[in-house]
Amino acid sequence: MSPNVLALLPEYILVLAGVLIMLAEPCLPAAASRKPLGWIAILGTALAGLASWYQLQFGTLHAFYGTIQVDAFSIFFHLLIAAVVLVTLLGSLDYFEGHATHAGEYFALTLFGATGMMFMTSSVELLMVFVGLEISSISTYIMAGFRKGQATASESSLKYFLLGSFATAFFLYGIALAFGATGSTNIYAIAHGLETTATPHLAFLALAMLIIGLGFKVSAAPFHVWTPDVYQGAPAPVVGLMSTAPKAAAFAVLLRITFSGFPAMQHRWAILMWVLAALSMTVGNLGALLQRDVKRMLAYSSIAHAGYLLVAFTAFPQDGIAAACFYTATYAAMNVGAFAVITQVSGYDETARSQEDFTGLASRRPMLAALLAFFLLSLIGIPFTGGFFGKFYVFSAAVAAGHVWLAVIGLLNSGVACFYYLRLLAAVYAKPTAESAALTSIPARRVSVPAAVGLTLAAIATLVLGILPGNTLWLTQYAGTSTIIESARQHCAPHPDNCHVELQMEQR
């Protein structure tokens, strides 16, 4: 296979599946079920994941004149995105049944969005990153407004759109300034150009703008204002997707830009990240304390988790990348799981919204309640769940880099976080009240088989990441190492003689 095909195999598969769905959609009668299209999407996603796995044996691949770099890092995120999309699709296969007439477009948009995210993670050219970012953003804007009956859905879509575009402008400005400072938009060329740049302040400004732009995308405080409204209004499965996969992709970009693009400035941006992390954790957790709406609460919790993740950026490169990757994976597993449960509990009409509506869930839907409890415990960071090990790993990386106080802030925050998660958990296991019983028992639908499979996958992933994180850890550490090595190699390309030391790392 030519490297151009091999390197982009997962993306090709996703696009093909998406186009197939788009072509099939108008051919189906309006009243017909859209499930077959959903199955195409699921199949495509699974194949794309397998293709990523297949790429792992080839080491680092470059394609399209150095625009694309497929390495362990990008493969990790490809797998993660594929997994998240897979679980989301499984969970939403029956979601639109009987409600929306053109659910096929939802599946197609999901796949295209995933393609954009994958491009973001595997690209080392900021132009490509930008295009990928836009594909993923625009498809999520649309998906946020997909539940058109509800006024809140279009409102959520609008807010997401406006603030997302606002962030894009900052991101672009950052790219422009980086281009101005170094004369290139390739991440490695930027790193190289920084060594000789005549305009160092410009370069730092560029990085700051990039961080602001991506900060919006990952909803780090103080760029988080859109998150609660958007999560509250958007359909639950979409929130599950957009709180994880695009965020993971944005974090991947942020990792690449900071660690590969601006390594020379780490002493400066690490401070920025320190502040952002502390602020996000605190704002997220304190905000969540005040919330009654479950989705809104989880929105604030996702801000806090973005903060935990940002802690990894203050660590040494190799640890930091590995820890960030690992945390992204655990966060994705548990958050997607939590939203999948909420999808199943509240249904298309979102009958159950506030914590009171969830009161006594355990006595009516014991399995769903147990799963929700499990995901919430993982979000708290209880041992033997992914959440615990993720947090542990992130904070150990930060402590290793000497940021003990950040770890203290972070872990105290996770103490505060317990409060609101436990409140929901306690409500779920409390005796049902009259109103809550009325609300959550209306759609006493059975959980369909695909949704159950999706939930199980998420739960298993969360559990495995907590108990046997070995394989994932290996992949994340490989990702970290390969990123560092590739940076070194690219950096050395002009002066090959004085960097055999770094390249020796590769021999190991």
Q: Site residues for other proteins, window 187-246 (CB under 8 A)?
A: 198-199, 201-202, 205, 228-229, 232-233
**Smaller CB distance to other proteins: residue 158 or 264?**
158
| H helix or E strand, kind and range, residue 486 | helix 470-492
- 250 near other proteins, rule: CB under 8 A: no
Contact 364, 431 (CB under 8 A): no
* Binding residue for other proteins, selected from 383, 449, 493, 503, defined by CB under 8 A: 383
Q: Which stretch binds other proteins (CB under 8 A): 80-88, 180-188, 269-277, 328-336?
A: 180-188
Tell me the C-alpha distance between 244 and 58, whole Å. 27
List Cα–Cα distances, 187 to 15, 252, 285, in angstroms.
26, 13, 34
- 161 near other proteins, rule: CB under 8 A: yes
- 110 near other proteins, rule: CB under 8 A: no
Minimum CB separation from other proteins for residue 74, in Å? 14
* Binding residue for other proteins, selected from 74, 121, 185, 482, defined by CB under 8 A: 185
- 44 near other proteins, rule: CB under 8 A: no
Tell me the C-alpha distance between 342 and 359, whole Å. 13
**Smaller CB distance to other proteins: residue 321 or 425?**
425
Contacts of 412 by beta carbon, 8 Å cutoff, 6+ apart: none
30 half-sphere exposure, CB direction, 13 A CA radius: 2
- 462 near other proteins, rule: CB under 8 A: no
**Smaller CB distance to other proteins: residue 229 or 486?**
229
Minimum CB separation from other proteins for residue 218, in Å? 20
Beta strands 61-63 and 68-70 are antiparallel
- 399 near other proteins, rule: CB under 8 A: yes
Binding mask 62-91 for other proteins (x = CB under 8 A): -xxx-xx-----------------------
Binding mask 112-131 for other proteins (x = CB under 8 A): xx-xx--x-----x-xx-xx
Tell me the C-alpha distance between 459 and 465, whole Å. 10
Query: What is the DSSP track for 28-59?
Result: S-TTS--HHHHHHHHHHHHHHHHHHHHHGGG-
* Binding residue for other proteins, selected from 294, 425, 439, 461, defined by CB under 8 A: 425
What the block records as the tokens of 103 is 């659910």
**Smaller CB distance to other proteins: residue 142 or 450?**
142
- Phi/psi at 290 (5° precision): -90, -5
- 39 near other proteins, rule: CB under 8 A: no
Amino acid at residue number 97: E
Tell me the C-alpha distance between 248 and 107, whole Å. 20
Q: Could you write out the three-class secondary structure of 176-209?
A: HHHHHHHCCCEHHHHHHHHHHCCCHHHHHHHHHH
What the block records as the tokens of 81 is 């995105």
* Binding residue for other proteins, selected from 375, 403, 457, 484, defined by CB under 8 A: 403
Give 321's DSSP letter: H
- 308 near other proteins, rule: CB under 8 A: no
**Smaller CB distance to other proteins: residue 13 or 377?**
377
Q: Site residues for other proteins, window 357-376 (CB under 8 A)?
A: 362-363
Tell me the C-alpha distance between 34 and 241, whole Å. 20
* Binding residue for other proteins, selected from 6, 15, 43, 289, defined by CB under 8 A: 15
Tell me the C-alpha distance between 375 and 370, whole Å. 9
Q: Which stretch binds other proteins (CB under 8 A): 135-143, 250-258, 260-268, 485-493?
A: 135-143
Minimum CB separation from other proteins for residue 358, in Å? 14
- 50 near other proteins, rule: CB under 8 A: no
Nearest to 259 by CA among 482, 458, 26, 30: 482
- 12 near other proteins, rule: CB under 8 A: no
Minimum CB separation from other proteins for residue 182, in Å? 9
Q: Which stretch binds other proteins (CB under 8 A): 79-87, 246-254, 273-281, 414-422?
A: 414-422
Q: Which stretch binds other proteins (CB under 8 A): 50-58, 152-160, 301-309, 444-452?
A: 152-160
Minimum CB separation from other proteins for residue 491, in Å? 20
- 5 near other proteins, rule: CB under 8 A: no
Minimum CB separation from other proteins for residue 179, in Å? 5
- 287 near other proteins, rule: CB under 8 A: no
What the block records as the tokens of 469 is 């994180």
Tell me the C-alpha distance between 387 and 245, whole Å. 17
Rounded (10°) CA dihedral 190, 194, 200, 205:
30
